[in-house]
């Protein structure tokens, strides 16, 4: 059996009454584990806390942290997925007052991404699937991922390692499983995620690193025309770090010096 805990106990099954299954009522975090340690755990827990406040979930963060650290020590290395749902409920959207949040931890091996993704960079597929605006859920990694599922099904070729997603107004938002950054004139730019999109843990770490190293950075609305004017482009997440972007559709970019500098800083964080 794959290593899996439900509410702190080894298990490989879940109640059919779980609201995460019925309504996507919950959140998840994808956490890199190295040498038995969950990396960037505090940032993951911060986002989980924000999600709990938005949905009115009462979360025992000290318990979740203890379980994550204990689970990671058993894993050794790999990817730990933490899922928190509202727990069991009856039919109907209204959550019960006595619902008890459920904690699920799953272990997976490290993904076998080609080394060239980080070294030579990747091409992005321009997805037709659009992200709907919902400010209440914007930034959160909630369990409703059908937009990403549909978008990921748009390409099957090996020429594209990731997709580029826009919202219904055409604003550039993110990758299918990553966040997007542009560099123009030495300034680090990333899409404003107050309407939709996932505020990734690595995105937050990079914005903090930019402040620490005096790299000017801005969060703002970005269009495809801004991509045309960019000097460098890259995508990031908390598992693989940074992948330079070589192109999307007819646009192409070099792997630039600021991308390489940030890659070096991130390698130190993730030990990759």
Question: What's the total number of domains in the chain?
Answer: 2
Of these residues, 29, 162, 174, 232, which one is catalytic?
174
Residues 261 and 153 both lie in one domain: yes
- How many residues would you count in the chain? 272
Can 85 be counted among the known catalytic residues? no
140 and 230 assigned to the same domain: yes
Confidence check: pLDDT of 33 > 90: yes
Catalytic choice (85, 141, 162, 232): 141
Res 272 pLDDT > 70 = no
106-154: per-residue pLDDT in tens? 999 999 999 999 999 999 999 999 999 999 999 999 999 999 999 999 9
CATH number at residue 39: 3.30.470.10
Could you tell me if 210 and 241 are in contact, meaning their C-beta atoms sit under 8 angstroms apart? no
Q: Are residues 74 and 166 in the same domain?
A: no
Residues 94-101 have a mean pLDDT of 82
Statement to judge: residues 207 and 92 lie in one domain: no
Domain boundary among 108, 128, 146: 108
The residue from 54, 82, 108 where one domain ends is 108
**Tell me, what's the pLDDT at 98?**
78
**174 assigned to active site:** yes
pLDDT at 57 over 70: yes
Residues 96 and 136 in one domain: no
Reported as a single tens digit per residue, the pLDDT across 204-216 is 999 999 999 999 9
Mean confidence (pLDDT) of the chain: 95
Same domain for 71 and 155, yes or no, is no
Give the confidence band of 95 by pLDDT, cuts at 50, 70, 90: confident
The answer for 132, left when phi > 0, alpha when psi is -120 to 50, beta otherwise, is beta
- Is the domain of 103 the same as that of 123? no
Residue 250, CA distances (Å) to 38, 42, 68, 224, 256 in order: 39, 39, 43, 11, 19
- What is the C-alpha to C-alpha distance for residues 163 and 155, in angstroms, rounded to an integer? 8
Whether residues 154 and 195 fall in one domain: yes
Domain that holds residue 28: 4-108
pLDDT reading at 10 higher than 90: yes
d(CA 200, CA 238): 8
Instruction: Choose the catalytic residue: 30, 34, 129, 184.
Output: 30
pLDDT digits (tens, 9 = 90+) for 180-225: 999 999 999 999 999 999 999 999 999 999 999 999 999 999 999 9
Contact between 164 and 180 (Cβ < 8 Å): yes
Q: Active site includes 30?
A: yes
Do 243 and 142 share a structural domain?
yes
Residues 187 and 264 in one domain: yes
Chosen domain end from 72, 90, 108: 108
Examine the domain organization and report whether 31 and 158 are in the same domain.
no
Q: Are residues 132 and 189 in the same domain?
A: yes
- Kindly report the CATH number assigned to the domain that includes residue 263: 3.20.10.10
pLDDT band at 268 (very low <50, low <70, confident <90, very high): confident
Task: Give per-residue burial for 108-128: e unless 16+ CB within 10 Å, then b.
Answer: eeeeeeeeebbeebbbbbbbe
**φ and ψ at residue 100, rounded to 5 degrees:** -110, 115
């Amino acid at each position: 059996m794959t290593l899996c805990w439900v509410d702190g106990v080894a298990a490989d099954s879940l109640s059919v009454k779980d609201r995460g299954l019925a309504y996507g009522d919950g959140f998840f975090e994808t956490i890199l584990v190295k040498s038995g340690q969950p990396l960037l755990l505090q940032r993951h827990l911060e986002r989980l806390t924000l999600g709990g406040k938005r949905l009115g979930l009462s979360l025992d963060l000290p318990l979740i942290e203890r379980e994550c650290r204990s689970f990671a020590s058993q894993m050794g290395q790999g990817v730990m997925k933490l899922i928190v749902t509202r727990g069991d409920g009856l039919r109907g959207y209204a959550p019960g007052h006595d619902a008890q949040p459920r904690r699920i931890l799953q272990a997976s091996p490290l993904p076998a991404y080609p080394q060239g993704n980080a070294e030579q960079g990747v091409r992005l597929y321009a997805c037709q699937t659009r992200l709907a605006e919902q400010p209440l859920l914007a930034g959160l990694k909630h369990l409703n991922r059908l937009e990403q599922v549909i978008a990921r099904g748009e390409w099957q070729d090996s020429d594209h390692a990731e997709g580029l997603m826009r919202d219904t107004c055409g604003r550039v938002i993110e990758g299918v499983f990553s966040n997007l950054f542009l560099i123009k004139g030495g300034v680090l730019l990333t899409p404003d995620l107050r309407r939709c999109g996932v505020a990734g843990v690595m995105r937050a770490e990079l914005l903090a690193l930019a402040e620490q190293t005096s790299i000017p950075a801005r969060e703002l609305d970005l269009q495809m025309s801004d991509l045309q004017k960019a000097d460098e482009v890259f995508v990031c997440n908390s598992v693989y770090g940074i992948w330079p972007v070589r192109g999307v559709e007819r646009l192409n970019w070099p792997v630039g010096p600021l991308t390489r500098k940030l890659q070096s800083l991130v390698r130190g964080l993730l030990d990759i």
